[in-house]
Homo-oligomer: A and B are copies of this chain.
Amino acid sequence: MLENKNTENTSLESLGEFGLIEHLTKNFTLKNESSIKGIGDDAAVLDFKENKAVISTDLLIEGVHFDLSYMPLKHLGYKSVMVNLSDIYAMNAKATQVTVSIAVSNRFPLEALEEFYSGVELAAEIYNVDVVGGDTTSSTKGMLISITAIGESKEEDITYRNGARPNDLLVVSGDLGAAYCGLQVLEREKEVFKVNPNSNPDLSMYTYIVERQLKPEARRDIVELLKTLDVKPTSMIDISDGLSSEILHLCKQSGVGCNLFEDKIPLDPTVIAACEEFNIDSTLVALSGGEDYELLFTIDQKEFLKIKGNPNLTVVGHMTDQNEGAHLISRNNSKIPLTAQGWNSFSND
């Protein structure tokens, strides 16, 4: 897909580094009042006035975090931004800017980078963030993406990981496990394609889970919903490495324990169907699958009525004293210690 066999493609050498940045970002306009100066100087200039700034950064590597054999570049640009905005929303803040740096080898034509940047632009448009900086350089192998997301918030609204208290309710947005199931479908189709390049698979029954893998949405809407409902979470984190790993982060940093109820974990019917097809346990997928980019947060019990019945939010457990530990309460009522089985980028598994 990406091999530069099309003679109409434009080589990156022909543009040069400065020409490339100018070309790729020429349509980007600044939409936020806090964006004073964007791309084009030594640094971007931002103005958060009395608000606090929140900043998060991520490095994404081809072959480790994404596979270009089934990840279209436009989706990759979109997802790269989402992954970082998700961290800003997990602070209960408003995302306002991103910087986008990429390194690619010479095998990428200009048109491939344009595809990537069109995904970045779409994400910036929909989520109302400004692309204010970045760097474009060459790599010796494959594609590397580094994104920094910046946001702002009133001090009193910022939600850390360390504010959960015993008896707080544990709440998750959306549903879990779909991104991991989507990845299984894509990996399987990749293997099929290797054997039979003419295969034309019908993936329509997997639309939801494949979309959750290829085009996740960061939950800006949940941050806005919580403000509308007048709910201030006591702690919050986004679910990038699986529910289990994130719960343990909240527990460790807040100095509390947790009871998570297996029968409360929100699963889409297509996730349950895919887990049956792939013969994997759906609870395990939700606990350890990762890449859901949902928000996990704790609230005081007295806030429960404000969120009760909201289709976007599910109470999945409650926090306990630290010495009780963190457990999954299974459907048959046994108590299983939660372990961090989140994605470990240094393991060879």
Contact = CB atoms under 8 A, between A and B. Distances in A.
Interface of A: 12-13, 15-18, 20, 36-37, 40-50, 52-59, 61-65, 87-88, 90-91, 93, 97, 99, 101-103, 106, 132-135, 137-142, 144, 146, 148-151, 155, 158, 160-162, 236-238, 253, 340, 343-348
20 contacts: A17-B343, A40-B161, A41-B162, A42-B87, A43-B56, A43-B87, A43-B91, A43-B149, A45-B52, A46-B54, A48-B48, A55-B55, A57-B148, A58-B135, A61-B140, A62-B140, A64-B103, A64-B139, A65-B137, A140-B142
B346 A134 contact: no
A132 B55 contact: yes
Contact of A346 (B46, B88, B135, B138): B138
Given A13-B344, A47-B52, A141-B141, 19 more contacts: A12-B346, A17-B343, A17-B345, A20-B346, A40-B161, A43-B56, A43-B88, A43-B91, A44-B54, A45-B158, A48-B48, A55-B97, A55-B132, A57-B135, A61-B140, A65-B137, A106-B348, A144-B144, A146-B146
Given A42-B91, A44-B56, A16 B344 contact: yes
Nearest to A161: B41
Given A53-B53, A56-B133, A106 B46 contact: no
A140 to B, nearest CB: 4
How often does this chain occur in the complex, in copies? 2
A47 B41 contact: no
Given A20-B346, A344-B17, A144 B103 contact: yes
The 5 closest A-B CB pairs, nearest first, are A146-B146, A43-B56, A42-B90, A43-B54, A63-B140
A115 B12 CA distance: 35
Contact of A45 (B54, B62, B134): B54
Contact of A46 (B41, B45, B53, B345): B53
A36 B47 CA distance: 17
A323 to B, nearest CB: 22
Q: Of A102, A238, A344, which is in contact with the most chain B CB atoms at under 10 Å from its CB?
A: A344
A328 to B, nearest CB: 20
A50 B48 CA distance: 8
Contacts of A59: 101-103, 135, 137, 144, 146
A93 B102 CA distance: 26
Highest count of chain B CB atoms <10 Å: which of A17, A64, A162 = A17
Contact of A53 (B47, B63, B345): B47
A160 B39 CA distance: 12
